[in-house]
Structure 1
């Protein structure tokens, strides 16, 4: 596990950008944290750093937003907060053949219907900032977390 201190919103955005710059060709990220912990902030920063243009909408009501990636395939951003049962996901048509990056908020609500995470990002508030804990879930995630933590201090990245 890698633990990072994110003192402000800029540091949270920088972590999203760092995840984008170091990401593997294909990965699944589960984003955990209370409401307001920064899950959507990380997802937006990551997508923006991957070159997504235009509005990056929250999937709170649509459940899934799809974004084309410059290097091919798509990134899918899911917010499962409003899901009562994992079976509801089958109506979304989540055939992940073209998906290069899954960003899943509230993944515990889709257990059994989602791919296993390569990396879990757990966010928690601490004072004016956040703590981000990166938990690898696969060899791909382990290498990814290593690339993130071996870089410059996250709070100083731009």
Structure 2
């Protein structure tokens, strides 16, 4: 996991999560891998649902991939692969899912919940989001990544 902290923000409501999802949908490059780190209930799935909604995936379509491991969503000429690494036993099992091919697919965004468990196979240009529960109504989101890739795309214009 790339350790350069790019930005930190507080989220106080589901509306804030939806705004963050819309911002990501507007600013992510054509192809991106996003590692999501956080405890159970931190909001990882909700954030992916917000990104999916922002590109036109019908409400209720985006669900947790806990049991399917990979959930694909398609809308607006964009593909989202929502991956859950929580139940993956090891790196080999994760690779057997075809994850490297998904990460290289043109026009695809790959969101991996519990990505820190399998970070060794992530591209160097991965954007990492750590979501921490600060209180029942507040989350702290910290962005990590390669500044050469992400700072100009996201943070110089915020």
Normalising by structure 1, report the TM-score: 0.83
Where does the alignment leave 5 or more consecutive residues of structure 2 unmatched? Answer: 1-5
Match for residue 26 of structure 2 among 21, 31, 46? 21
Quick check: 1:63 aligned with 2:69? yes
1:103 aligns to what? Answer: 111
Which of 135, 138, 151 does residue 144 from structure 2 map onto? 135
- Partner residue, 1:46: 51
Please tell me the root mean square deviation across aligned C-alpha atoms, in Å: 1.9
> Normalized against structure 2, the TM-score is what?
0.83
Report the more deviating stretch, 15-24 or 94-103: 94-103
| SS across alignment from 2:120 | coil
SS of aligned partner of 1:111: helix
Q: Which runs of 4+ in 1 moved over 4 A?
A: none
How do 1:105-124 residues align onto structure 2 when only pairs under 5 Å count? 105-124=113-132
SS at match of 1:145: helix
**Unmatched 5+ stretches in structure 1:** 151-158
Do the aligned partners of residues 107 and 50 (structure 1) sit closer, same or farther apart at CA in structure 2, a change above 3 Å counting?
Answer: same
Q: How many residues align?
A: 148
